[in-house]
Chain A
Amino acid sequence: MIIYLLYSLLGILIGSFTGLIPGLHVNNIAPILVSLVSGTQLDTYQAISLIVAMMTTHTFLDFIPSTFLGVPDKNTALSVLPAHQFVLEGRGYEVIKFTALGSLGSLIISTVMVGGLVHIIGPIYKIINPYMHLLLIFIVAIMFLLEDSWKKRLISLGIFLLAGFLGLIVLNSNLVPGNSGLMPMLGGLFGMSVLIVSINNENTIPQQKISNKEIEVIPNTKPIVSGATAGFLTGVIPGVGPAQGTVLSQVLTKTEETKDFLIGVSGVNTAKALLSFVALYAIGRPRSGAAVAVHNLIEKIGLNDLLFLIGISLFVGGLAAVLHLKIGKLAAKNIEKLPYKPMCLAVIISIIAFSVYYAGLWGILILFTSTSIGLLPPSFNVKRTHCMGVLIFPVILFFSGLETPILKFLGL
């Protein structure tokens, strides 16, 4: 038992490092880690302890770079991401506390939900699977309707389709192998486009206030539950991203505050990782990077394996939350002393490097195109989440059976 905990600690160490690398999504690391682990003498459960710990820790700590980097100029930017609003008010450390609470809270809530989900996830999946495309169209329509004018709704549709066409080309052609195109596409839509706006402005990050005031758990139960629910939604419905899952669950739970969004959205990936283990056990399909990694190591997971995965996730979750708070505090204290522009530039260079690493030279053209599309939402003052069309549009076509005729028509 001790050996598994030791491997979990090693996983936490690696996850802390990868989580702090901006622009690196948890799903990008899974395949690298699995291939690295398969070359060692580790037994299956030691490997799983290491991978699950690393990926869980990553989902906690990746909020630190995304909170403090890419902050736009508050005087010129039309739309500011929720976490950046807090940083501009000198309340960046509060975001760290909210996201620690959201990630850990949703992990605990998801664990409580597991007992019931084991039995219902299979039948739910069977019921919704034939209607998945309609469900996705419904979700996308809600996201459009949340914009405040018809002009903006039409623009959102245009952005969704541009991103969707990009996803369709990159994921269904031989430009790049398999899902290697995801890194430049998501890096451009959600990373580069944010950083370019930020680096273009003569802004300075205000000094961050470090408040040791505790966040109460009970009043924040609703957003925590909405994060766990969103984790469940994104775990079952392919293509739906954390922000969309959170907005949807906010619509359902009627929570509107930015603080609630932050608590909710931070829990999505953590809850998704845990609930995807349940989906792997119940329907045999890996629905997250963590589940894909586990599926590569155990073909058919049993109840004991599921309990082991949950145990490791909880053990790691507690430690990762503490680490997140400590490192986040350090970042908040020192961010205004750091050379902000060179740091953003370093992140831009790292996104370009990762894109080339994953997708070769095509990665640069994909990154250029996705960054251009990613610049449109802030320019038109609409939600950036419409860019998730990059995944949702191909998934809608796949489930509706239109993918093959459309690809044939396009000559792909």
Chain B
Amino acid sequence: MKNTSIVRLSLISSIVGLTLLYMSAASINPGVTPISEIDENYIGLKTKISGEVIKTRKHSDGHLFLQIRGKDYNKIRIPIFAQTNSNLNEKIELLDNIEIKGEVNEYRGDLQVTPQNSESIKVVKSAPINISKISKAQAGEIVRVRGYISEKNKNKDGSYSIIIKNDGNKIKAHIPKEIASSSKFEMMRESTLIQVGGPLELRKGEIAIKIRNPHNIRFETSK
């Protein structure tokens, strides 16, 4: 075969092949997948999921690890690597609703969805709950509240208990020693406007928020 024929044939084949691949790829772009449907068969595939943030953990290297819960109450892990995390316009907090487009992969036996960049993450901020609406029956649920620190007490084991007050209602928040010893905690003074999130727990018959990570504390303005 002459060289010009090979060139023509190769060019035509390349363009036809690319067109077919493009058309096929565009037609199988995914919509939002329910978390309950994601299993081993999804590994390596790109998918879109949405849910409520129920756990956050910030790594010292800047990575943020989330656990989100879908409408179907199934949970999945979302690792957001440092660079992606630093490019996010908004801080992701407990109970925010997020939509993630990313690849499903397996990490130490668990499935996770890894967003490729900050543009693959859409955050819909949720408002903090009114303290007056919290009751003992909600123990175990995750809440986020906003208010002023009215008391700050150090416990014998090095942990702290703070009272958060808003519109005449108050709630206790428990801060474990390892978080209380962080430099961030030094900013916490009485009358500081604060937002905290975490699970509700019953302590000596009293309902309190357990703060599990410094990421779940946000300081706002002071009085």
What residues make up the interface of A, taking CB atoms closer than 8 Å to B?
A: 78, 129, 162, 165-166, 169-170, 172-180, 200, 284, 362, 365-366, 368-369, 371-373, 375-376, 379-380, 398, 401, 403-404, 410-412
Residues in chain B near residue A174, CB distance under 8 A? 25, 28-30, 45-46
Q: How far is the CA of A366 from the CA of B9 in the complex (A)?
A: 17
The total of Cβ contacts below 8 Å across the A-B interface reads 94
Residues in chain B near residue A173, CB distance under 8 A? 25-26, 28-29, 46
23 A–B pairs (Cβ distance < 8 Å), ordered by A? A78-B3, A129-B83, A165-B18, A165-B22, A169-B21, A172-B46, A173-B29, A174-B28, A174-B29, A175-B21, A176-B44, A177-B45, A178-B105, A365-B17, A369-B13, A369-B14, A372-B13, A373-B10, A375-B10, A379-B10, A380-B7, A404-B120, A410-B22
The answer to whether B3 touches A379, judged by C-beta atoms less than 8 angstroms apart, is: yes
The answer to whether B6 touches A375, judged by C-beta atoms less than 8 angstroms apart, is: yes
Please pick, from A180, A284, A376, A403, the residue contacting B61 in the complex, using a CB distance under 8 A: A284
The answer to whether B17 touches A368, judged by C-beta atoms less than 8 angstroms apart, is: yes
The answer to the question of B221 belonging to the interface, with a C-beta cut-off of 8 Å to chain A, is: no
The answer to the question of B20 belonging to the interface, with a C-beta cut-off of 8 Å to chain A, is: yes
B47 to chain A, nearest CB (A): 8
What residues make up the interface of B, taking CB atoms closer than 8 Å to A?
A: 1, 3, 6-7, 9-11, 13-15, 17-18, 20-22, 24-26, 28-30, 43-46, 61, 83, 103, 105, 116-117, 119-120
Nearest B residue (CB) for A170: B21
Q: How far is the CA of A173 from the CA of B18 in the complex (A)?
A: 13
Q: How far is the CA of A375 from the CA of B171 in the complex (A)?
A: 71
Nearest B residue (CB) for A179: B44
Q: How far is the CA of A176 from the CA of B43 in the complex (A)?
A: 11
Nearest A residue (CB) for B12: A372
Q: How far is the CA of A373 from the CA of B25 in the complex (A)?
A: 19
The answer to whether B43 touches A162, judged by C-beta atoms less than 8 angstroms apart, is: no
Residues in chain A near residue B13, CB distance under 8 A? 368-369, 371-372
Q: How far is the CA of A404 from the CA of B102 in the complex (A)?
A: 12
Q: How far is the CA of A179 from the CA of B14 in the complex (A)?
A: 21
Q: How far is the CA of A411 from the CA of B11 in the complex (A)?
A: 24
